[in-house]
């Protein structure tokens, strides 16, 4: 059976239109015929995204809210039909999908320094403002991502930043960005990915530009500045590679706990820890007791745990599309059954909502050398596609959607972990496709 045509992103639309026009001429089709085909395609996608059995009380957001959870997704604000929302009439399927399924949204990438601060004295809030207008019109919450990170930095930073002015640059940035959105953000990812055991420091901190220019206290400085700029928001530390029981993840998890304890001991205003949850089951390792203990240790410190960037990569997985979809769904189910048994896990954010747009399809293009075979973790078998999210490229719900919804239905009920006896119950099923 022939697969449906993939969704065309807004950035590709202009180029695709030119190609389609040329093809239409070659085939003897009129411009009106091509336009009619596109119109039909948009209507089909819209009908799929607004199905009654997956929206309203049947949506991910509604099922999450029924269990005291907040579900959301990373979105691309420029793709949202905000004007249509304001008029109460949008036929854009991506917009409808996001509006129907999420209770909280996060700008996927344009809040990084590289795009948000094109020069030392200029900020571009256009994407953030678009997201916030959408949130205001729809009553949804927004997450801020991210104030301090070592990646996605503008070119000017390496030329301008020194040990003498780095502290000022960091403080000014947080004051400007968090202050611009003061009172409108549910959680800020204040510091992102500050731990790297491989860098060899006794405290596990990454040898980032911030560490080299300011010192270890840049993390506490960032949180205190964020608290002053936006006192109503929750403030989170966000980290990846701490999910599985592989030795590297376990070591990084220990360093992360040490960092959180230091911050709490110092009286730093921190309220949550984000466990990114970019899962790579095909490369080995499973989430288990180590992550459970991490979440409970965070609870002892009074910290909420937020699943902040959830997706499941197909890298290293075997099987055709139906088998991949079922395997991905099992990972969603088992992982969320594990973490949502803990009462301090209250937020789940998937890093995207549809396979039509996922960083996993394009991450390798942004590596220093895309042909470097050391980075094959970004790729999957030839002829297959990354299918890491709840909806496919045609906005149809996949098995992952139903697994995610069912896992949230069982959240915090304790069926999987017996806390009273502290008895460990293995929550994961082995996947024969790995």
Please write the tens of the pLDDT for every residue from 214-254: 999 999 999 999 999 999 999 999 999 999 999 999 999 99
Domain-located, residue 293: yes
Q: How high does pLDDT run on average in the chain?
A: 85
Provide the pLDDT for residue 34: 47
Residue 263 pLDDT more than 50? yes
Lowest mean pLDDT among 17-21, 150-154, 281-285: 17-21
CATH number for 287 = 3.20.20.80
Tell me: do 41 and 70 sit in the same domain.
no
Distances from the Cα of 360 to the Cα of 134, 314, 365, angstroms = 26, 9, 10
pLDDT band at 12; cut points 50, 70, 90: very low
Distance CA 171, CA 253 (A): 28
Helix axes 321-339, 289-300, angle to 10 degrees: 40
Report pTM: 0.85
H helices within 139-217, ranges in order?
155-160, 166-180, 209-214
Please pick, among 186, 196, 304, 309, the residue that the annotation labels catalytic: 309
Domain-located, residue 427: no
Residue showing tokens 């029981």: 245
Tell me: do 221 and 248 sit in the same domain.
yes
Number of domains in the chain: 2
**DSSP states along 338-405:** HHTTSTTEEEEEES-SBTTS-GGGTGGGGSSSTT-GGGGGG---TT-----SSB-TTSPBPHHHHHHH
- pLDDT tens column, 101-111: 999 999 998 99
Domain-located, residue 425: no
Tell me: do 36 and 62 sit in the same domain.
no
Residue scoring higher pLDDT (410 or 284): 410
Tell me: do 105 and 43 sit in the same domain.
no
Which class for 14: exposed (0-12), middle (13-18), buried (19 or more C-beta within 10 A)? exposed
Distance CA 270, CA 211 (A): 19
Domain-located, residue 63: yes
Q: Are 345 and 305 in contact (CB under 8 A)?
A: yes
Provide the pLDDT for residue 315: 84
Domain-located, residue 294: yes
Tell me: do 230 and 206 sit in the same domain.
yes
| 146-171 average pLDDT score | 97
The C-alpha angle 143, 341, 278, rounded to 5 degrees, equals 50
Residue showing tokens 């004007």: 83
| 29-35 average pLDDT score | 47
Tokens of 388: 């890491």
Tell me: do 16 and 90 sit in the same domain.
no
Tell me: do 16 and 70 sit in the same domain.
no
Closest by CA to 258, choosing from 299, 292, 294, 288, is 294
Tell me: do 34 and 166 sit in the same domain.
no
Domain-located, residue 132: yes
Distances from the Cα of 347 to the Cα of 63, 289, 365, angstroms = 12, 20, 31
H helices within 240-320, ranges in order?
247-265, 289-300
Domain-located, residue 305: yes
Q: Is the dihedral of CA 316, 318, 319, 324 positive or negative?
A: negative
Distance CA 223, CA 241 (A): 22
Residue scoring higher pLDDT (108 or 38): 108
pLDDT band at 423; cut points 50, 70, 90: very low
243 is catalytic: no
Domain-located, residue 420: no
Q: Which domain holds residue 167?
A: 52-409
Tell me: do 355 and 309 sit in the same domain.
yes
Q: Are 8 and 38 in contact (CB under 8 A)?
A: no
Tell me: do 43 and 145 sit in the same domain.
no
Tell me: do 18 and 143 sit in the same domain.
no
The DSSP letter of residue 413 is: S
193 is catalytic: yes
Tell me: do 119 and 193 sit in the same domain.
yes
Q: Are 312 and 388 in contact (CB under 8 A)?
A: yes
Half-sphere exposure of 82 (CA within 13 A, CB side): 17
Distance CA 326, CA 321 (A): 9
Q: Are 131 and 85 in contact (CB under 8 A)?
A: no
Please pick, among 108, 186, 193, 304, the residue that the annotation labels catalytic: 193
């Amino acid at each position: 059976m022939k697969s449906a045509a993939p969704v065309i992103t807004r950035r590709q639309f202009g180029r695709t239109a030119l190609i389609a026009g040329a093809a239409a001429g070659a085939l003897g089709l009129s411009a009106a015929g091509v336009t009619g085909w596109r119109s039909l395609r948009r209507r089909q996608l819209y009908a799929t995204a607004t199905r009654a059995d997956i929206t309203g009380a049947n949506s991910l957001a509604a099922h999450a809210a029924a269990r005291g959870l907040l579900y959301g997704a990373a979105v691309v604000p420029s793709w949202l039909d905000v004007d249509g929302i304001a008029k109460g009439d949008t036929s854009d399927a991506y917009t409808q999908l996001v509006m129907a399924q999420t209770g909280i949204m996060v700008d996927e990438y344009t809040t990084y320094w590289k795009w948000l601060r094109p020069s030392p004295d200029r900020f571009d809030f256009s994407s953030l403002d678009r997201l916030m207008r959408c949130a205001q019109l729809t009553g949804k919450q927004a997450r801020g991502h991210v104030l301090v990170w070592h990646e996605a930095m503008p070119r000017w930073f390496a030329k301008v930043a020194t040990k003498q002015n780095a502290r000022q640059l960091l403080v000014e940035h947080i004051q400007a960005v968090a202050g611009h959105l003061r009172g409108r953000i549910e959680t800020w990812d204040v510091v992102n990915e500050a731990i790297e055991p491989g860098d060899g420091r006794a405290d596990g901190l990454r040898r980032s530009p911030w560490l080299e220019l300011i010192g270890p206290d840049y993390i506490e400085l960032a949180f205190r500045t964020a608290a002053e700029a936006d006192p109503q928001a929750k403030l989170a530390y966000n980290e990846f590679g701490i999910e599985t029981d592989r030795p590297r993840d376990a070591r990084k998890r220990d360093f992360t706990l040490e960092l959180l304890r230091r911050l709490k001991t110092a009286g730093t205003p921190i309220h949550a820890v984000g466990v990114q949850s970019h899962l790579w089951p095909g490369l080995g390792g499973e989430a288990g007791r180590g992550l459970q203990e991490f979440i409970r240790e965070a609870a002892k410190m009074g910290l909420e745990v937020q699943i902040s960037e959830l997706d499941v990569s197909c890298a290293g997985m075997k099987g055709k599309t139906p088998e991949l979809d079922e395997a991905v769904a099992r990972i969603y189910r088992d992982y969320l059954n594990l973490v949502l048994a803990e009462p301090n896990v209250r937020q789940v954010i998937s890093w995207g909502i549809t396979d039509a747009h996922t960083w996993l399809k394009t991450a390798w293009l942004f590596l220093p050398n895309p042909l470097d075979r050391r980075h094959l973790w970004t790729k999957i078998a030839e002829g297959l596609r990354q299918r890491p999210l709840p909806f496919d490229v045609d906005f149809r719900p996949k098995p992952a959607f139903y697994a995610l919804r069912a896992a949230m239905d069982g959240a915090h009920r304790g069926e999987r972990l017996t806390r009273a006896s502290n008895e460990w119950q293995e929550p994961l099923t082995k996947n024969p496709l790995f």
